[in-house]
Amino acid sequence: MSKASILIVDDEPINIRLLVEVLKPEYELLIATNGHQAIEQLQKCHEDIDLILLDVNMPEISGLDVLEKINEHPNWTDIPVIFVTARDQDGDEAEGLQKGAVDYITKPISAPIVRARVNTQLTLRKAKIELATQNKILEQKVQERTEEISYTQDVIIHALTSLAETRDKETGSHIIRTQYYVKTLAELIRHLPEYRDELNDFTINAMFKTAPLHDVGKVGIPDNVLLKPGKLTAEEWVVMKTHAKLGADALMQAGESSGGRGVSFLKYAHEIALGHHEKWDGSGYPNSLSGNDIPLSARLMAVADVYDALISKRCYKEAFSHEKALSIMAEGKGQHFDPLMLQVFLDNEPAFFAIAEKYNDG
């Protein structure tokens, strides 16, 4: 095990000799006879210095001046400094402690006191270094675990959306587009007073990630209803509308089986799956919610889902133009959609058209 290294800074040769005599058997020693030399030593080998014994009263650059230089340098500040002071330098001693010195030794020095003070500070420094190392290891483990959880969530979302795509071939690009519509609209409204408390980087990212699960319940809809090329009958429409609750129930069960882990992730998935067909005026399904009783994530998804459905070709309809879709949606302001949210959408419609073009089905 290598010896700790101590930098002795003193302009009096007799003091240096005494300190060397006391400390040399146990420690590696570096010597500086003035403040300039001390700073040079720190510049050359600060990584090898574990402690500094610093005389206060030196010509040109005092010990207090050297301490200020140490405090200004980010790579030096973790090196403990013990002031070596004369008994008539109480003011300097107090100022040094105030500026960051960890201890002081009075002259004439006592060998047992020097050894004890030095050993105490070196033990503390070693403990701090070990603690910092452990904290870094823990932070790394937390980061790795966080990344693992995020990756697992992404895999689950991808698996579930891929499952939905096997039932409904028209959902692939629709899923990607609606993701980006939701994220873009959330970013646009996040600073408005009405939404500021609910939208931040975390919630927007969670909504972006879970938006693809909005129609996951369609896996439970029979093919003769889900894939019917024509208009649904009243009875078939009742069956189709169950997809919202089917998806939400599946996601809720997943949350309960997880023992509470990943709750925030599943919270938005559940809200979006259950509520994206609710309408502002209460005429939607499955729970006829209205206004702000509809979760914000579901209101965002409603705008995204309807816009994309309108501009996309389906087995039961041709695609509408971007302009026609905007016109139809504007008619639903305050009825189908959150009116303030829809207005932001309409005011920024080129951004959504750009997403539709980038991720088109062609």
- Summarised one tens digit per residue, pLDDT across range 150-206 is 666 676 677 677 666 666 655 668 888 999 999 999 999 999 999 999 999 999 999
Q: How far apart are CA 54 and CA 273, in angstroms?
A: 68
Q: How far apart are CA 125 and CA 80, in angstroms?
A: 7
pLDDT tens-digit readout, 210-261: 998 898 888 889 888 988 888 889 999 999 999 999 989 988 887 665 555 5
Q: Do 178 and 131 fall within a single domain?
A: no
pLDDT tens-digit readout, 77-103: 899 999 988 766 656 667 777 888 999
Does the N-terminal peptide bond of residue 108 adopt cis geometry, omega within 30 degrees of 0?
yes
Of residues 63, 62, 36, 65, the one with CA closest to residue 52: 63
Other CB atoms within 10 A of residue 237 CB: 12
Q: How far apart are CA 16 and CA 9, in angstroms?
A: 8
Q: Do 244 and 347 fall within a single domain?
A: yes
Q: Do 101 and 188 fall within a single domain?
A: no
Confidence of residue 306 (pLDDT cuts 50, 70, 90): very high
> Phi and psi (nearest 5°) for 348?
-120, 30
Q: Do 130 and 178 fall within a single domain?
A: no
pLDDT tens-digit readout, 36-58: 999 999 999 989 999 999 998 89
Q: Do 13 and 118 fall within a single domain?
A: yes
Q: Do 66 and 180 fall within a single domain?
A: no
Contact at 8 Å (CB) between 297 and 208?
Answer: no
Q: Do 74 and 190 fall within a single domain?
A: no
Q: Do 174 and 289 fall within a single domain?
A: yes
With respect to residue 164, please indicate whether it lies within any of the assigned structural domains. no
Rounded to the nearest 5 percent, the helix, strand and coil shares of the chain are 65, 10, 30
Structural domains counted in the chain = 2
91, 119, 137: which is the final residue of a domain?
137
pLDDT at 267 (0 to 100): 86
Q: pLDDT higher for 135 or 149?
A: 135
With respect to residue 267, please indicate whether it lies within any of the assigned structural domains. yes
With respect to residue 144, please indicate whether it lies within any of the assigned structural domains. no
With respect to residue 162, please indicate whether it lies within any of the assigned structural domains. no
CA 270 to centroid of chain Cα atoms: 23
Q: Do 131 and 227 fall within a single domain?
A: no
With respect to residue 256, please indicate whether it lies within any of the assigned structural domains. yes
Q: Do 130 and 182 fall within a single domain?
A: no
HSE (CB half, 13 Å, CA atoms) of 203?
A: 19
pLDDT at 124 (0 to 100): 92
Q: Determine the structural domain holding residue 350 and report its residue range.
A: 170-358
Q: Do 180 and 314 fall within a single domain?
A: yes
Q: pLDDT higher for 307 or 60?
A: 307
CATH number where 193 lies: 1.10.3210.10
With respect to residue 228, please indicate whether it lies within any of the assigned structural domains. yes
Q: Do 65 and 212 fall within a single domain?
A: no
With respect to residue 212, please indicate whether it lies within any of the assigned structural domains. yes
Contact at 8 Å (CB) between 8 and 58?
Answer: no
With respect to residue 161, please indicate whether it lies within any of the assigned structural domains. no
CATH number where 31 lies: 3.40.50.2300
The two tokens of residue 152 are 């697992």
Say whether 54 sits in a helix, a strand or coil. Answer: strand
